[in-house]
């Protein structure tokens, strides 16, 4: 930090006029203090900010100032923020008039790359924002996953995981954004190939009531993994050529348990996981499905007798 501060002071001592965009010499960067209200915040890969952490940062900025300069570029005579939106917001909250900035000459692609590096390596960006940011960089620059990984200092496997996350349904992405599921749990969901199966699993594992009732709730990656393993056991089993088995008898339900497994309602699927207790061999799953469908039919029969009486 002392090197940055010394360089900043040296640049300012040479008479760089703050707040005046000029043509930047591509051979070097320019360090200067810029009024907060003269910095435009344009599209950022980061969409969400933790309010508590932002307030903590604002308190630190009020006490110590902005130690790490923001990165900006000049477009049409205006300063456009490239990296450091959290520090810019904190400076506003702390009442600072100007902030230290590195004025850098860069195009849109380099600006996007700088945002991702800034957020993923230092500012703990939300998992959903990071995933879509990685995908945007990968697609806009038409990069391979290997080159994308090299640009961001990540592994190629990590990049492929981020891109896969962007394909999850909106409900799952919102759960990830709110911390109801974590990255590991979300990665498990991406392993489900069939969209219909993926939607069924999401409905089965996520708490009921929607996002308004998700506060303080968490679904472990282990639970999601258990569901995925159950579906994999089904998918890897030999296909059964049946049309619509009646399921009237226990023997028939056990014989066609794979069919009935995919007919379970979300709450029944949760019950199925409880009955299996982490054991997903064919006999255990057949017994669990038999019990659930049997109880469903018994309840339906009881309702019918009640209505007739």
pLDDT tens column, 133-165 = 888 888 888 888 898 888 888 899 989 999 999
Q: What is the pLDDT of residue 16?
A: 40
Region for residue 138 given its phi and psi (left: phi exceeds 0; alpha: psi -120 to 50; beta: otherwise): alpha
Residues 6+ apart with CB under 8 A from 244: none
> What number is the average pLDDT over the span 269-273?
79
Among the options 29, 55, 56, 85, which is catalytic? 85
> What number is the average pLDDT over the span 53-75?
87
The separation between the first and the last C-alpha atoms of the chain, rounded to the nearest angstrom, is 82
Q: Judge whether 156 counts as a catalytic residue.
A: no
pLDDT tens column, 95-118 = 999 999 989 888 888 888 887 777
Q: What confidence tier does 233 reach under pLDDT thresholds 50, 70, 90? A: low
Cα distance between residue 213 and residue 68, in whole Å: 38
Per the prediction, the chain carries an average pLDDT of: 77
Kindly list the structural domains of the chain, giving each domain's residue range(s) and its CATH number in brackets, ordered by start.
Answer: 2-107 (3.90.1530.30), 237-309 (no CATH)
pLDDT tens column, 9-59 = 444 444 344 444 444 444 467 888 999 999 988 776 677 777 888 888 889
């Amino acid at each position: 930090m002392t090197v940055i501060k010394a360089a900043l002071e040296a640049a300012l001592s040479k008479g760089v006029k703050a707040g005046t965009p000029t043509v930047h010499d591509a051979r070097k960067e320019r360090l200067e203090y810029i009024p907060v209200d003269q910095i435009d915040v344009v599209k950022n890969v980061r969409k969400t900010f933790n309010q508590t952490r932002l307030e903590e940062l604002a308190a630190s900025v009020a006490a110590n100032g902005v130690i790490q300069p923001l990165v900006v570029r000049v477009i049409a005579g205006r300063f456009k923020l490239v990296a450091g939106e959290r520090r810019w917001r904190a400076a506003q909250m702390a009442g600072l008039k100007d902030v230290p900035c590195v004025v850098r000459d860069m195009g849109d692609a380099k600006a996007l790359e700088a945002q991702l590096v800034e957020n993923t390596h230092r500012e703990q960006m939300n998992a959903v924002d990071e995933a879509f940011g990685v995908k945007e960089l990968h697609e806009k620059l038409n990069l391979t996953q290997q080159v994308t990984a090299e640009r961001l200092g990540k592994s190629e496997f990590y990049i492929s995981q981020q891109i896969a996350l962007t394909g999850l349904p909106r409900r799952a992405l919102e759960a990830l954004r709110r911390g109801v599921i974590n990255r590991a749990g979300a990665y498990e969901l991406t392993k489900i190939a069939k969209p219909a199966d993926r939607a069924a699993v999401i409905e089965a594992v996520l708490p009921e009531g929607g996002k308004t009732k998700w506060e303080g709730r968490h679904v472990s990656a282990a639970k999601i993994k258990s569901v995925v393993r159950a579906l994999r056991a089904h998918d890897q089993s030999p296909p059964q050529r049946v049309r619509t088995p009646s399921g009237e008898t226990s023997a028939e339900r056990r014989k066609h348990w794979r069919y009935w497994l995919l007919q379970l309602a979300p709450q029944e699927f949760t019950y199925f996981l409880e009955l299996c207790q982490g054991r997903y061999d064919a006999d255990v799953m057949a017994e669990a499905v038999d019990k659930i469908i049997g109880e469903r039919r018994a309840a339906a029969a009881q309702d019918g007798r009640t209505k007739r009486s």
